[in-house]
Amino acid sequence: MRKLTCSRAQNHDGSSLDPTGIVVTPFDDPETHMMNSLIARLALTASAAALTVAASVTGGPQGTKKLEAGDKAPPIEGVTDWVQGEMPNLSDGVVVVEFWATWCEPCKRAIPHLNALHKQFARLGLKIVGIAADEKTGSLTENVKSVKNFVKSKGDAMGYIVGVDNMGEAKRRYMEAAKIEGIPATFVLGRNGRVLWIGRPSDDRFETVIKLAIQNKFDPILTPKAWETLEAAKRAAALRNFREAYLQIDEVVKMDPPLFGWLIAERYVMTLDTEKNAEAAKQYLKNILPGIAADPYSLQELVQTICKDPIQSERDLDSAMILAQQCRKACGSDPAPGMAMIALVHATKGEFEKAVEIQTAAWLAAVPGEKPEYKRVLDEYQRIRTRNAQPNALLGE
């Protein structure tokens, strides 16, 4: 899966805009019955999950039902000491709850990754909460002292929230409820207070889940099924059965295009670089645009894929500019992400004077917490512009 962007989440309002002047053709659908079948299966799965969630909320005591993705997140209770930070609001932003211990080597190996995610995404609402749930130093007081000393020794290398679950209550509500044995154990909670994902911080999907969750683009039922669909489509493409590969992806994307911006980007690259059909890839972008015209995330994902994906055989920068300009319009009162995409297209074209001009405007328009990243990109454009101008200066031009 390709790297995802990190702009603040935008809600899709269902509008189909096409102010670019291009002609948008209807999305081909020669296998309607197959599409309906898949949608029905996914809808039934989602409905069943919703009923299960309702049963867990209104039914018996905690622990009578296995805690799964899609369920309401249990409260974090029983943490006797917050040695760094304080108990988070589980309905405010994206929360990662990780159970660990000072003696656990895999837990210690996960700390640099968790801390990097904390530093990168805290400004976007991410909270990482490390709960020491299995200390073995002796008394409760010694357990707390051990964790405090460990966190203090880490300094900035462990800057996220840390608490001690001496009584094991949080562990019972999460790990035992989810039938998980062994630490580290990680739970990603969404902005709506639901469990989105359960696993280990070393899992391949962990960082992707966080990035999608920050964008409000992770569904605990549909997104994992979309991952399975992508793998099946890749197998079909490897056999040169592109009709089947595209049909599988398109059926999922049509359910909710803004939810699957990352999958749209995968489909585009498959057409361009696996099938080697640049014209069909360009047409796909035209076809898909109405469904994502109001969604900055999906537009941004496509622009970055076209401009930055290292395996691109050729870059359709004309289409990238159309998408970037639409992204600027979709951003509304927060223009900085869209302006940055326009600057990126100019930079990819080698037009660094224009890229510097527009990125400067994006930096000035960005909210305070995001200005450092915009400035970092601006500085890079300025360095390249200066470097490119030096040969001409030596020639006296």
Average pLDDT of adjacent 10-residue blocks, the chain of 397 residues: 38 33 32 39 42 38 76 89 91 93 96 96 93 85 93 96 93 95 95 94 95 95 96 97 97 96 97 95 97 97 95 89 98 96 97 98 93 96 92 55
CATH number of the domain residue 278 falls in: 1.25.40.10
How many angstroms separate the CA atoms of 213 and 230, rounded? 19
Q: Strand ranges (DSSP E) for 3-158?
A: 81-84, 94-100, 126-132
Q: Quick one: 92 and 196 in the same domain?
A: yes
Q: Which amino acid is located at 41 in the chain?
A: R
β-strand pairing of 126-132 with 161-164:
parallel
Q: What's the confidence (pLDDT) of residue 220? A: 95
β-strand pairing of 185-189 with 195-199:
antiparallel
Q: Is residue 42 part of a domain?
A: no
Q: Each residue of 44-57: pLDDT tens digit? A: 344 444 434 443 43
Q: What's the confidence (pLDDT) of residue 28? A: 36
Q: Is residue 335 part of a domain?
A: yes
β-strand pairing of 185-189 with 94-100:
antiparallel
How many angstroms separate the CA atoms of 397 and 389, rounded? 9
Query: What's the helix, strand, coil split of the chain in %, to 5?
Result: 55, 10, 35
Distant-in-sequence, close-in-space partners of 218: CB < 8 Å, separation ≥ 6? 190, 196, 197, 209, 212
Q: Quick one: 355 and 321 in the same domain?
A: yes
Q: Quick one: 230 and 176 in the same domain?
A: no
Q: Quick one: 264 and 311 in the same domain?
A: yes
Phi and psi angles of residue 194, each rounded to the nearest 5 degrees, phi first? -105, 150
Q: What's the confidence (pLDDT) of residue 270? A: 96
Q: Which amino acid is located at 224 in the chain?
A: P
CATH number of the domain residue 199 falls in: 3.40.30.10
Among 191, 214, 237, the domain boundary falls at 214
Is residue 110 within 8 A of residue 162, CB to CB? The reply is no
Q: Quick one: 154 and 279 in the same domain?
A: no
Q: What's the confidence (pLDDT) of residue 191? A: 87
Where in the sequence is the domain holding 350, given as residue range(s)? 220-394
How many domains does the structure of the chain reveal?
2
Tokens of 46: 């989602």
Among 167, 192, 214, the domain boundary falls at 214
Q: Quick one: 228 and 183 in the same domain?
A: no
Is residue 300 within 8 A of residue 306, CB to CB? The reply is no
Q: What's the confidence (pLDDT) of residue 393? A: 53
176 CB burial (10 A radius; 0-12, 13-18, 19+): middle
Q: Quick one: 98 and 158 in the same domain?
A: yes
Q: Is residue 149 part of a domain?
A: yes
Task: Establish whether the linkage from the previous residue to 184 is cis, with ω within 30° of 0.
Answer: yes
Is residue 65 within 8 A of residue 56, CB to CB? The reply is yes
Q: Each residue of 307-347: pLDDT tens digit? A: 999 887 789 999 999 999 999 999 999 999 999 999 999 99
Q: What number of CA atoms fall less than 13 Å from residue 34's CA on the CB side?
A: 12
Q: Quick one: 138 and 195 in the same domain?
A: yes
Q: Quick one: 225 and 326 in the same domain?
A: yes
How many angstroms separate the CA atoms of 282 and 92, rounded? 39
